[in-house]
Structure 1
Protein backbone atom coordinates (compact mmCIF):
# COMPACT_ATOMS: atom_id res chain seq x y z
CA UNK A 1 0.00 0.00 0.00
CA UNK A 2 1.25 3.51 -0.73
CA UNK A 3 2.16 5.98 1.99
CA UNK A 4 -0.83 7.70 3.59
CA UNK A 5 -1.72 11.25 2.56
CA UNK A 6 -2.08 12.25 6.22
CA UNK A 7 -1.10 10.49 9.42
CA UNK A 8 -0.53 11.11 13.10
CA UNK A 9 0.60 9.14 16.13
CA UNK A 10 -0.02 9.49 19.86
CA UNK A 11 0.85 7.52 22.99
CA UNK A 12 -2.18 6.62 25.09
CA UNK A 13 -1.90 5.39 28.67
CA UNK A 14 -4.86 3.04 28.41
CA UNK A 15 -5.33 -0.61 27.56
CA UNK A 16 -5.16 -1.28 23.81
CA UNK A 17 -8.55 -3.02 24.05
CA UNK A 18 -10.14 0.16 25.42
CA UNK A 19 -8.63 2.24 22.64
CA UNK A 20 -9.77 -0.25 20.01
CA UNK A 21 -13.30 -0.14 21.44
CA UNK A 22 -13.34 3.64 20.90
CA UNK A 23 -11.93 3.78 17.36
CA UNK A 24 -13.95 0.80 16.11
CA UNK A 25 -17.28 2.19 17.35
CA UNK A 26 -18.58 4.66 14.75
CA UNK A 27 -20.69 6.43 17.40
CA UNK A 28 -17.72 6.90 19.76
CA UNK A 29 -15.50 7.95 16.86
CA UNK A 30 -18.00 10.66 15.89
CA UNK A 31 -17.55 12.23 19.34
CA UNK A 32 -13.79 12.39 18.74
CA UNK A 33 -13.56 13.43 15.08
CA UNK A 34 -13.63 16.89 13.52
CA UNK A 35 -15.75 16.35 10.39
CA UNK A 36 -17.34 12.97 10.97
CA UNK A 37 -20.56 13.50 12.96
CA UNK A 38 -22.44 10.21 13.15
CA UNK A 39 -23.53 7.00 11.48
CA UNK A 40 -26.31 4.59 10.70
CA UNK A 41 -25.56 0.89 10.33
CA UNK A 42 -26.72 -0.69 7.04
CA UNK A 43 -27.74 -4.15 5.89
CA UNK A 44 -28.62 -5.34 9.40
CA UNK A 45 -25.16 -4.65 10.85
CA UNK A 46 -25.03 -3.49 14.45
CA UNK A 47 -21.36 -3.78 15.36
CA UNK A 48 -17.97 -3.38 13.70
CA UNK A 49 -16.96 -6.41 11.61
CA UNK A 50 -15.19 -6.90 8.31
CA UNK A 51 -17.72 -6.24 5.56
CA UNK A 52 -20.13 -4.28 7.76
CA UNK A 53 -21.30 -1.02 6.21
CA UNK A 54 -22.48 2.25 7.66
CA UNK A 55 -23.74 5.55 6.31
CA UNK A 56 -21.55 8.32 7.72
CA UNK A 57 -22.83 11.83 8.40
CA UNK A 58 -20.24 14.55 8.04
CA UNK A 59 -20.20 18.28 8.70
CA UNK A 60 -17.92 21.26 8.35
CA UNK A 61 -19.45 24.59 9.31
CA UNK A 62 -22.76 24.89 7.48
CA UNK A 63 -21.81 22.14 5.01
CA UNK A 64 -23.25 18.64 5.43
CA UNK A 65 -22.63 15.48 3.40
CA UNK A 66 -22.91 11.74 3.77
CA UNK A 67 -20.68 8.85 2.74
CA UNK A 68 -20.83 5.08 2.67
CA UNK A 69 -18.15 3.22 4.63
CA UNK A 70 -17.24 -0.45 4.48
CA UNK A 71 -15.13 -1.94 7.27
CA UNK A 72 -12.08 -3.73 5.86
CA UNK A 73 -10.07 -4.48 9.02
CA UNK A 74 -11.42 -5.27 12.47
CA UNK A 75 -8.63 -6.88 14.48
CA UNK A 76 -7.29 -5.98 17.93
CA UNK A 77 -4.40 -4.02 16.44
CA UNK A 78 -6.11 -2.43 13.42
CA UNK A 79 -9.45 -0.94 12.49
CA UNK A 80 -9.97 0.42 8.97
CA UNK A 81 -12.71 1.33 6.55
CA UNK A 82 -13.04 2.42 2.92
CA UNK A 83 -15.23 5.44 2.19
CA UNK A 84 -17.23 6.02 -0.98
CA UNK A 85 -19.67 8.65 -2.18
CA UNK A 86 -22.06 8.19 -5.11
CA UNK A 87 -20.32 4.86 -5.70
CA UNK A 88 -16.92 6.53 -6.14
CA UNK A 89 -13.88 5.99 -3.91
CA UNK A 90 -13.17 8.79 -1.44
CA UNK A 91 -10.73 7.62 1.23
CA UNK A 92 -9.38 4.89 3.43
CA UNK A 93 -9.16 5.54 7.19
CA UNK A 94 -7.04 3.30 9.39
CA UNK A 95 -6.23 3.09 13.10
CA UNK A 96 -3.21 1.00 14.12
CA UNK A 97 -2.78 0.16 17.81
CA UNK A 98 0.58 -1.03 19.12
CA UNK A 99 0.69 -2.18 22.75
CA UNK A 100 3.41 -0.75 25.00
CA UNK A 101 4.27 -1.39 28.63
CA UNK A 102 2.13 1.54 29.79
CA UNK A 103 -0.67 1.43 27.25
CA UNK A 104 -0.38 1.76 23.49
CA UNK A 105 0.70 3.87 20.56
CA UNK A 106 -2.10 4.78 18.16
CA UNK A 107 -1.52 5.80 14.56
CA UNK A 108 -4.38 7.26 12.54
CA UNK A 109 -3.85 7.40 8.78
CA UNK A 110 -5.85 8.26 5.70
CA UNK A 111 -5.39 7.76 1.99
CA UNK A 112 -7.17 10.01 -0.50
CA UNK A 113 -8.78 7.63 -3.01
CA UNK A 114 -10.66 10.22 -5.08
CA UNK A 115 -10.07 10.21 -8.83
CA UNK A 116 -8.53 13.53 -9.94
CA UNK A 117 -11.73 14.68 -11.67
CA UNK A 118 -13.76 13.97 -8.47
CA UNK A 119 -11.62 16.23 -6.26
CA UNK A 120 -13.12 19.53 -7.43
CA UNK A 121 -16.78 18.58 -6.77
CA UNK A 122 -15.96 17.02 -3.40
CA UNK A 123 -13.86 20.04 -2.38
CA UNK A 124 -16.73 22.32 -3.36
CA UNK A 125 -19.16 20.22 -1.30
CA UNK A 126 -16.94 20.06 1.81
CA UNK A 127 -15.24 23.46 1.59
CA UNK A 128 -11.81 21.81 1.89
CA UNK A 129 -9.43 22.51 -0.98
CA UNK A 130 -6.26 21.18 0.67
CA UNK A 131 -7.55 17.84 1.87
CA UNK A 132 -4.23 16.32 3.04
CA UNK A 133 -3.38 19.43 5.06
CA UNK A 134 -6.86 19.53 6.61
CA UNK A 135 -6.79 15.82 7.39
CA UNK A 136 -3.44 16.20 9.19
CA UNK A 137 -5.01 18.85 11.43
CA UNK A 138 -8.17 16.76 11.90
CA UNK A 139 -6.09 13.70 12.84
CA UNK A 140 -4.14 15.69 15.42
CA UNK A 141 -7.40 16.83 17.02
CA UNK A 142 -8.99 13.38 16.90
CA UNK A 143 -5.95 11.71 18.49
CA UNK A 144 -5.79 14.31 21.28
CA UNK A 145 -9.49 13.71 22.04
CA UNK A 146 -8.96 9.95 21.89
CA UNK A 147 -6.12 10.17 24.41
CA UNK A 148 -8.19 12.39 26.73
CA UNK A 149 -11.19 10.07 26.62
CA UNK A 150 -9.26 6.78 26.81
CA UNK A 151 -7.20 7.94 29.75
CA UNK A 152 -10.38 8.97 31.56
CA UNK A 153 -9.27 12.57 32.02
Structure 2
Protein backbone atom coordinates (compact mmCIF):
# COMPACT_ATOMS: atom_id res chain seq x y z
CA UNK A 1 0.00 0.00 0.00
CA UNK A 2 1.30 3.48 -0.85
CA UNK A 3 0.35 4.83 2.57
CA UNK A 4 2.64 2.23 4.18
CA UNK A 5 5.59 3.70 2.27
CA UNK A 6 4.63 7.33 2.91
CA UNK A 7 3.98 7.17 6.64
CA UNK A 8 7.06 6.91 8.85
CA UNK A 9 6.91 4.60 11.87
CA UNK A 10 4.23 5.73 14.27
CA UNK A 11 6.36 4.98 17.31
CA UNK A 12 9.09 6.51 19.40
CA UNK A 13 11.10 5.77 22.50
CA UNK A 14 13.63 7.27 24.90
CA UNK A 15 15.95 5.36 27.25
CA UNK A 16 17.56 6.76 30.40
CA UNK A 17 19.95 4.97 32.78
CA UNK A 18 18.92 5.21 36.43
CA UNK A 19 20.99 4.33 39.47
CA UNK A 20 18.15 2.40 41.09
CA UNK A 21 17.08 -1.24 40.97
CA UNK A 22 14.22 -2.23 38.64
CA UNK A 23 11.85 -2.77 41.59
CA UNK A 24 12.16 0.89 42.68
CA UNK A 25 11.66 2.16 39.14
CA UNK A 26 8.69 -0.19 38.67
CA UNK A 27 6.99 1.19 41.79
CA UNK A 28 7.27 4.67 40.29
CA UNK A 29 6.18 4.04 36.69
CA UNK A 30 3.27 1.77 37.64
CA UNK A 31 1.80 4.26 40.13
CA UNK A 32 -0.20 6.36 37.67
CA UNK A 33 -1.31 8.69 40.46
CA UNK A 34 2.25 10.11 40.53
CA UNK A 35 2.53 10.95 36.81
CA UNK A 36 1.78 14.62 37.51
CA UNK A 37 5.14 14.87 39.29
CA UNK A 38 7.00 13.90 36.13
CA UNK A 39 5.11 14.45 32.88
CA UNK A 40 5.11 17.84 31.14
CA UNK A 41 1.66 17.08 29.65
CA UNK A 42 -0.27 14.78 32.00
CA UNK A 43 -0.55 16.69 35.24
CA UNK A 44 -2.67 14.21 37.18
CA UNK A 45 -4.17 10.74 36.91
CA UNK A 46 -6.48 8.59 38.97
CA UNK A 47 -7.61 4.99 38.98
CA UNK A 48 -11.21 4.55 37.75
CA UNK A 49 -13.92 1.90 37.38
CA UNK A 50 -13.02 0.33 40.71
CA UNK A 51 -9.33 -0.12 39.85
CA UNK A 52 -6.89 0.62 42.67
CA UNK A 53 -3.52 -0.34 41.25
CA UNK A 54 -1.55 -1.76 38.35
CA UNK A 55 -2.83 -4.97 36.77
CA UNK A 56 -3.86 -5.93 33.26
CA UNK A 57 -7.33 -4.54 32.62
CA UNK A 58 -7.14 -1.84 35.31
CA UNK A 59 -8.62 1.50 34.25
CA UNK A 60 -7.45 5.02 34.95
CA UNK A 61 -7.77 8.44 33.43
CA UNK A 62 -5.11 11.05 32.84
CA UNK A 63 -5.73 14.79 32.95
CA UNK A 64 -3.79 16.21 30.00
CA UNK A 65 -2.74 19.62 28.79
CA UNK A 66 -1.37 19.03 25.27
CA UNK A 67 2.12 20.48 24.87
CA UNK A 68 1.70 21.95 28.36
CA UNK A 69 -0.62 24.69 27.06
CA UNK A 70 -4.22 25.16 26.00
CA UNK A 71 -7.36 23.47 27.22
CA UNK A 72 -7.24 20.36 29.38
CA UNK A 73 -9.04 17.08 28.87
CA UNK A 74 -9.31 13.66 30.51
CA UNK A 75 -8.02 10.63 28.60
CA UNK A 76 -9.39 7.21 29.54
CA UNK A 77 -6.68 4.54 29.77
CA UNK A 78 -6.45 0.82 30.39
CA UNK A 79 -3.44 -1.23 31.52
CA UNK A 80 -2.54 -3.68 28.74
CA UNK A 81 0.72 -5.18 30.06
CA UNK A 82 1.84 -5.42 33.67
CA UNK A 83 4.90 -7.56 34.36
CA UNK A 84 6.53 -6.47 37.60
CA UNK A 85 9.30 -5.27 37.65
CA UNK A 86 10.01 -5.05 33.93
CA UNK A 87 7.03 -3.85 31.87
CA UNK A 88 4.09 -1.47 32.32
CA UNK A 89 1.97 -0.51 29.31
CA UNK A 90 -1.41 1.10 28.78
CA UNK A 91 -3.71 2.07 25.96
CA UNK A 92 -5.33 5.48 25.58
CA UNK A 93 -8.82 5.72 24.15
CA UNK A 94 -12.30 4.46 24.69
CA UNK A 95 -13.56 0.92 25.16
CA UNK A 96 -14.18 0.82 21.40
CA UNK A 97 -11.25 2.81 19.95
CA UNK A 98 -7.61 2.79 21.03
CA UNK A 99 -5.74 5.90 19.91
CA UNK A 100 -2.27 5.05 21.13
CA UNK A 101 -0.25 2.99 23.59
CA UNK A 102 2.36 4.11 26.09
CA UNK A 103 4.69 2.02 28.17
CA UNK A 104 7.84 1.55 30.18
CA UNK A 105 10.40 -1.22 29.82
CA UNK A 106 12.79 -1.64 32.75
CA UNK A 107 15.97 -3.68 32.38
CA UNK A 108 18.63 -4.30 35.02
CA UNK A 109 21.96 -2.85 33.97
CA UNK A 110 24.08 -5.47 35.76
CA UNK A 111 25.47 -2.95 38.25
CA UNK A 112 22.42 -2.52 40.50
CA UNK A 113 20.78 0.12 38.31
CA UNK A 114 18.27 0.11 35.49
CA UNK A 115 17.85 1.11 31.88
CA UNK A 116 14.37 2.58 31.59
CA UNK A 117 12.67 3.04 28.23
CA UNK A 118 9.48 5.01 27.79
CA UNK A 119 7.77 4.43 24.44
CA UNK A 120 4.62 5.17 22.49
CA UNK A 121 2.92 3.48 19.58
CA UNK A 122 0.12 5.14 17.63
CA UNK A 123 -2.58 2.79 16.38
CA UNK A 124 -2.41 1.94 12.67
CA UNK A 125 -6.03 2.82 11.78
CA UNK A 126 -6.34 5.13 8.78
CA UNK A 127 -7.31 8.36 10.64
CA UNK A 128 -4.27 8.03 12.91
CA UNK A 129 -1.99 7.23 9.98
CA UNK A 130 -3.15 10.39 8.20
CA UNK A 131 -2.61 12.42 11.36
CA UNK A 132 0.91 10.98 11.63
CA UNK A 133 1.59 11.68 7.95
CA UNK A 134 0.68 15.34 8.43
CA UNK A 135 2.02 16.01 11.93
CA UNK A 136 4.16 12.98 12.74
CA UNK A 137 7.59 14.58 12.78
CA UNK A 138 6.45 17.46 14.95
CA UNK A 139 4.43 15.25 17.30
CA UNK A 140 7.24 12.70 17.43
CA UNK A 141 9.73 15.38 18.51
CA UNK A 142 7.27 16.69 21.11
CA UNK A 143 6.69 13.16 22.44
CA UNK A 144 10.43 12.46 22.56
CA UNK A 145 11.10 15.67 24.49
CA UNK A 146 8.24 14.88 26.89
CA UNK A 147 9.43 11.30 27.44
CA UNK A 148 12.96 12.49 28.15
CA UNK A 149 11.65 15.10 30.62
CA UNK A 150 9.46 12.48 32.33
CA UNK A 151 12.31 9.97 32.66
CA UNK A 152 14.82 12.57 33.87
CA UNK A 153 12.37 13.72 36.56
CA UNK A 154 11.79 10.10 37.60
CA UNK A 155 15.54 9.58 37.71
CA UNK A 156 15.92 12.48 40.15
CA UNK A 157 13.36 10.87 42.46
CA UNK A 158 14.71 7.29 42.44
CA UNK A 159 18.32 8.44 42.75
CA UNK A 160 17.73 10.81 45.69
Q: Same fold (TM over 0.5)?
A: yes
Q: How many residues align?
A: 144
- The question of 1:25 aligning with 2:34 is answered no
Decide which of 66, 69, 72 is 1:61's aligned counterpart: 69
Query: Could you say what secondary structure the match of 2:49 adopts?
Result: coil
Contact 1:89-1:114 at 8 Å conserved across structures = no
Distance 1:87 1:129 in 2: 27
- C-alpha distance 36-114 of structure 1, shift in aligned 2 (>3 A): farther
- Name the structure with the higher helix share: 2
Q: What value does the CA root-mean-square deviation take over the aligned residues? A: 2.3
Matching residue of 1:149: 157
Deviation at 1:87, TM superposition (A): 4.3
Q: Which runs of 4+ in 1 moved over 3 A?
A: 118-121
- Indicate the structure (1 or 2) with the bigger Cα radius of gyration: 2
Structure 2 match to 1:125: none
1:109 to 95, 119, 127: 119
Q: CA deviation at 1:120?
A: 8.1
Other-structure match for 2:108:
99
Distance 1:46-1:86 versus aligned 2 partners, 3 A rule: closer
Structure 1 gap segments, 5+ residues each: 122-127
- Aligned counterpart in structure 2 of residue 131 of structure 1, from 102, 126, 139: 139
Measure, in 2, the Cα distance between the counterparts of 1:61 and 1:97: 30
Distance in 2 between residues matched to 1:147 and 1:7, nearest whole Å: 16
1:41 aligns with 2:47: yes
Q: TM-score, normalised by structure 1?
A: 0.84
Structure 2 spans left out of the alignment, 5+ residues: 1-8
Partner secondary structure for residue 19 of structure 1: helix
